[in-house]
Amino acid sequence: MKVLLRLTLALGIFLVLLSGCQKEKFFEGNTNLKFSTDTVWFDTVFTKAPGTKYPISVTKIFSITNPENGTVKVDLTLAGGVNSAYRINADGFAGPEIRGLEIPAKDSIFVFVQCTLEPNNQTMPALLVDSLIATVNGKSQKTYLAAFGWDANYFQSVQLACNEVWGDKTKPYVIVDNVLVAKGCTFTIKEGVTVYNSARSLLLVQGTLKIEGTAAEPVYFTGDKPTFEARELPNQWGGIYITRGSTNNKIAYAKIHNAAIGIRVDSLPEAGNWNLEIESSSMLFCGQAGLAGITAKIKAQNCLIGESGSYSFLGFLGGEYEFRHCTFVGYANFTTRQDGHFALTNTIRDGNGIILQSKPLTCTVLNSIIYGSQKEEFYIDNKGFAAFTTNITNNLIRSFDQPYAGNVYNQTPEFNSTTKHEFWLGSNSPAKDAGTALSPAITLDILGKTRDANVDLGCYEYIP
């Protein structure tokens, strides 16, 4: 009996080994592989900064499907070979040539593509096309790889020259890591300039920043992936950080988007002037806050602020703030907020809510809109021992807890489209013709359009 068991076991092992030694049969006929796209499109990618490998594009992914009932072997080759601006990776193997990839019957592989583009010495983006060739049993198919390469002016981890001016409208400026405006120096950005920023980069201002956009040619700040898909993504860069001692910063017609904090202003100015005066500008799609002041002095008019992770505006540990004809919005869905997106506090507290420090706070909000998707969008913490002085009148506000008289509460502003972030007013908006005359008068809106005699609340004047 034991002998029979041994013979049975040996025979079973032999059969297993025999089956393992059989050569796998691959599909040998003509086939048409199925590509999930005929063109891998990168939109616009910056060309390389001199002496670096920066920037590398986003990673694009597409699939190749085997429609046959048997396994196919496929060779993948970049037409540009080793000189291609593109690089591929499939099933853990990197190109420019990958041979003998197996795709089981009715199965797929994923191909990952990136590109790094050489400067093209042109003022406008230049199209660069390559192709990925897939060959099975001598038959080849291809999908195209395409990107616009855009030369740029690069600034990496530098202190800007005193009285630096950026005015090149033909090529964008790219900040890699941080750049510094030193104390006593002025940095000016002219109309029509576009500034892209690498991950976590900051524009640090110890001196003075002047942004001189116009309604026709605003100045634009965003992350360094200039693609449509990234238009609403937060935390692509750090933001503009105005440090203690910086004074007389003035910003007009700027779009400051996709930062962690769009503009952060620290500490009361030493010379007694405003830390920041900003007009006709937007701060949108920021991870934490569009605009934040920490014991700061900020004056704003005709500004659109919000669609951020936590706050449209945060006035923290006191300060002096003045907002006229501004629109603060909170409809972004990439995070869950707990507090109202417009927040004022004259305190700093520990983790148990105990007040550690309190500074005087003064805030004026006139002819403005503060609205969003939550029931309570106006958060006030005035329990500190320092003064808390407000002039909050003639606004449209989403709030059930605030005692400020002279405002319209909880009437939907009838924005054109909150899902598309179009915050101009519809014809039935309660903000229409609800403004009051201000002194000095604000005669234009955020788009440079003339306000009529019956001015509207917020940064947009209704135009039928």
Q: Which domains does the chain have, with CATH numbers?
A: 34-149 (2.60.40.10), 153-425 (2.160.20)
Model pLDDT, residue 333: 85
Q: E strands of 326-395, at which residues?
A: 327-330, 342-345, 347-349, 355-358, 361-366, 369-372, 378-381, 388-393
* Residue ranges in the chain whose pLDDT is less than 50: 1-9, 11, 13-21
Model pLDDT, residue 401: 87
Of 205, 237, 242, the closest CA to residue 222 belongs to: 237
Joined together, the tokens standing for residue 183 give 């104390």
Of 113, 93, 116, the closest CA to residue 35 belongs to: 113
User: What amino acid is encoded at 180 in this protein?
Assistant: L
In DSSP terms, 155 is beta-bridged to 175
- For the chain, the maximum distance between any two Cα atoms, rounded to a whole number of angstroms, is 109
Model pLDDT, residue 28: 87
Model pLDDT, residue 326: 98
- Based on DSSP, count helices (H) and strands (E) in the chain, helices before strands: 1, 39
Of 316, 186, 321, the closest CA to residue 261 belongs to: 316
Model pLDDT, residue 272: 66
Model pLDDT, residue 119: 94
Q: Which residues of 211-239 are buried (b: 16+ CB within 10 A; e: fewer)?
A: bbbeeeebbbbbbbbbeeebeebbbbbbb
Model pLDDT, residue 334: 83
Model pLDDT, residue 4: 43
Model pLDDT, residue 16: 47
Its pTM stands at: 0.87
* C-alpha span between 16 and 28 (Å, rounded): 27
Model pLDDT, residue 263: 98
* C-alpha span between 255 and 303 (Å, rounded): 10
